Each structure stands twice: as structure tokens, then as C-alpha cells.
Amino acid sequence: KNQVEQSPQSLIILEGKNCTLQCNYTVSPFSNLRWYKQDTGRGPVSLTIMTFSENTKSNGRYTATLDADTKQSSLHITASQLSDSASYICVVGENTGTASKLTFGTGTRLQVTL
């Protein structure tokens, strides 16, 4: 069964600090991996997307890495801000030929405090 596991479940950091969120997956055949940010009570918003051949992708203070051999990804947030407080969801796409079936992780809840 395809699975996406994220760690930690929750995280509290001080404003200005860096943090790294982890994502391990068993999805096969792998197509792509995406990180979303979801504010409480809102829809997820895409941060980065990586395919098999990409091992890093940046979006401002967010940098995602992908190791397709070990089936691991990480999302690094630099110089955190209060507005970074949200859930971060790792989503892995399975190559089904005609479409990409997505498997969602349960998310990491990040709280940035003063």
C-alpha cells in the first residue's frame, strides 16, 4: 500500500530560527513530490514540486530536497516568520500512465512563536 509519512507531527520554533520537516514515502512508481502549506481552515497552497530527476527546489525561504533512492524528502524553512505557522503537507504522485494518483501525508503542524 502506498504511504506517505511525515515527521514530526508538530513543531514549535522561535521566530527567526530555521527548521526542517521530513517526508518518507513508499509510493511506486514514483512520479512527483509536492509540498503544500495549509493555513488553519483554508485550502492547501503549493510550495514546491519535484520530479524524479530533481533533488532540490527552492521557493523563497522554502527549500525542498528529494532523494528518490531512499524515498525521502525534506522541507527546510529559513529564518521563520510568524506567518509560517501552518500545516505542511507532503504529497506524492504515482505514475499511473494516464493520470497521477496522489497520496497525501498527514502533515506537520508548525507553530512559530515570538
Partner 1 sequence: DGGITQSPKYLFRKEGQNVTLSCEQNLNHDAMYWYRQDPGQGLRLIYYSQIVNDFQKGDIAEGYSVSREKKESFPLTVTSAQKNPTAFYLCASSMMDRSYEQYFGPGTRLTVT
Binding site for partner 1 (CB under 8 A): 4, 31-32, 34, 36, 41-46, 49, 89, 93, 99-100, 102-107
If we measure between CA atoms, which residue out of 76, 85, 103, 83 comes closest to residue 12? Answer: 85
CB of 107 to partner 1, least distance (A): 7
Choose between 59 and 103: whose C-beta lies nearer to partner 1.
Answer: 103
C-beta closer to partner 1: residue 48 or 80: 48
Angle of CA points 48, 29, 69, to nearest 5° = 70
Q: How far is the CB of 59 from partner 1 (least distance, A)?
A: 14
Among residues 41, 42, 62, 38, which one has the least CA distance to residue 50?
62
Q: Please report, for residues 18, 52, 76, the alpha-carbon distance to residue 67 in angstroms, rounded to integers and kept in the order given.
A: 21, 9, 14
CB of 3 to partner 1, least distance (A): 9
Smallest gap from residue 69 Cβ to partner 1 (A): 21
Judged by beta carbon, residue 56 or residue 106, the one nearer partner 1 is 106
For residue 29, whether the previous peptide bond is cis, meaning omega lies within 30 degrees of 0, is yes
Choose between 53 and 114: whose C-beta lies nearer to partner 1.
Answer: 53
